[in-house]
Amino acid sequence: MKVSELFMPTMKETPSDAEIESHKLMLRSGFMRQLSSGIYVYLPLGYRVLRKIENIVREEMDRAGAQEVHMSALMPKELWEESGRWAVFGPEMFKIKDRNEREYCLGPTHEEAFTYIVRNEVTSYRDLPKILYQIQTKFRDERRPRFGVMRCREFTMKDAYSFDMNEEGLDISYKKMYDAYVRIFKRCGLDVKIVEADTGAMGGSNSHEFMVPSSVGEAEIAYCKACGYAANLEKAECLDEPVENTEEIKQMQEVYTPNVRTIEELVNFLNIDAKRFVKTMIYKADDRFVAVLVRGDREVNETKLKNLLKANELELASVEDVERITGAKVGFAGPVGLSIEIYADNEVKYLKNFVVGSNKTDYHIKNVNLSDFKVTKFADLRNITQDDLCPKCLSQKVTIERGIEVGHIFKLGTKYTEAFNCVYTDEKGEKKPMIMGCYGIGINRTAAAIIEQMHDEDGIIWPITVAPYEVIVVPVNIKDEQQSKIAFEIYEDLQKKGVEVLIDDRDERAGVKFKDADLIGIPFRVTIGRKIADGRIEVRNRRTKESVEVDIESAVEFILNLINEEKARYKV
């Protein structure tokens, strides 16, 4: 492809609304443009990258025995009513009506569609197991679309669904997908951390997320450098470590704390360490209200709470509800005399003479102890922190890092197959629900994550496996007949050998061309300049920034070797 003809609208300035490097670089390199909040269109270079990632995913899915299908993005309400998710999916789902007022959604995910098809078409144990997948557009009305294609409202996902006869079968399918994901991300040049993820109230280690460590990631990962334990923050378990506390129990005492509501304000006002406070948070779990206690310097882990309460929906109670339940303004809730159920984090068990809200506006109580109120249950209800020991090996404290979730695999069990009556007949003629797993990879987010991990001040450094082109041939002065002739010969020769190659035939200064080549991240740049007088040209590796001079005659052979060496880095 000639750069003079390529639709590659690069930008010199950094777009002002882009906050993170991948977003900036995808816009600057002319890979994509925004159409509306969270909605992007892909231009030729960007689309080539997405297709390459898709192809890697496709090859590895096929290798693992999964079969590609294509569901519709538009789905009728009735399908989602069968699983019960039409009502509970919430505002993230785009819902629309047809001309006859029938309701539909634009698929945010496809468990329903796959289960429906399999239910109707697969009936016998002879037809199982099956792993089906698609590469399909998903629509999610995210609360906060941001960071370009990291969190957008229309995106491409590879989603796979496995159907097995029993748990052992599911374990095998799950392992196949897990291994395929490891290969996919390696081939994409991504360094991923695989972490245990929450599975809801069912528990067990039945879900993993594939995380790309990055300071711009929206997820947090806790991991242990000693034993390799890794879990996302929602899931990471806090040990219940007994603390010996020999303090004498003191007398409860009300203190006047006018307008002092937050822990920070209290610490300053009372001059007492945050560890000596107990926070009382009021939550609405489905239709009931509960209070949750954690130490002043801790955060409630809502996933753990939701699982403990077996709630479908969990949210902080509204201001009105808090005021009604506590009889005080927000900021003064406390466990003493509270009429709703109280759940407390394990750590609270070992505290004595702590400070809590008094359920009376502008007052707190000092020297409160466990005997002063009733706890329904103590449990692990807080987020893990850097001060916590690894819950697996206990040998050292965990490290907490941010990460970008690029893939997620999940054992679903019979949640959908029971709802859809998706059963098979076993060898004895008995009907049993199939056991399902689901497996997703965000294609666009993967592209953005690669850029986050592989860029420098000059632009993107694409791994050769996903680069839009492998080589860019740059004649320094296109008007120089000799340079132009040699450049086109090398370009055409590389093309014949199956190399994906660009030639920058624009009548531009060399500096402009070099800048663009670096910005769009082409792995190899072949420069044809004055040195052709000595029969030499230059080949530069974008990743290592190393340049070598080679003879014109052996140049193509040399470049082919370099490409192969570079590709070997991403082999699995």
In the complex, the residues that contact ligand ATP under the rule CB under 6 A are 109, 140, 142, 151-152, 155, 157, 405-408, 440, 442, 444-445
Kindly tell me which of 146 and 284 has the beta carbon lying closer to ligand ATP.
146
Kindly tell me which of 89 and 125 has the beta carbon lying closer to ligand ATP.
89
Smallest separation, CB 442 to ligand ATP (Å): 2
Smallest separation, CB 191 to ligand ATP (Å): 16
Smallest separation, CB 407 to ligand ATP (Å): 5
Kindly tell me which of 154 and 516 has the beta carbon lying closer to ligand ATP.
154
Whole-angstrom distance, CA of residue 266 vs CA of residue 397: 29
Name the region of 204 (left: φ>0; alpha: ψ -120 to 50; beta: rest): left
Kindly give, in sequence order, each residue whose CB lies less than 8 Å from that of residue 104, ignoring residues fewer than 6 positions away. 74, 75, 76, 77, 95, 96, 97, 98
Residue with smallest beta-carbon separation from ligand ATP: 442
Kindly tell me which of 57 and 487 has the beta carbon lying closer to ligand ATP.
57
Q: Tokens for 407, please give them.
A: 């893939």
Kindly tell me which of 444 and 465 has the beta carbon lying closer to ligand ATP.
444
Smallest separation, CB 438 to ligand ATP (Å): 8
Whole-angstrom distance, CA of residue 419 vs CA of residue 57: 30
Smallest separation, CB 183 to ligand ATP (Å): 17
Sheet holding 547-551, edge to edge: 501-503, 471-475, 524-528, 536-541, 547-551
Kindly tell me which of 185 and 223 has the beta carbon lying closer to ligand ATP.
185
Q: Tokens for 182, please give them.
A: 């490891």
SS3 at position 356:
strand
Smallest separation, CB 402 to ligand ATP (Å): 12
Would you say the C-alpha torsion 541, 542, 544, 547 has a positive or negative sign? positive
Q: What is the DSSP letter of 270?
A: I
SS3 at position 524:
strand
> Do the beta carbons of residue 519 and residue 28 sit within 8 Å?
yes
Backbone phi and psi for residue 508, each to the nearest 5 degrees, phi listed first? -130, 165
Whole-angstrom distance, CA of residue 561 vs CA of residue 543: 16
Smallest separation, CB 160 to ligand ATP (Å): 11
Give, for 74, the enclosing helix (H) or strand (E).
strand 74-76
Kindly tell me which of 23 and 140 has the beta carbon lying closer to ligand ATP.
140
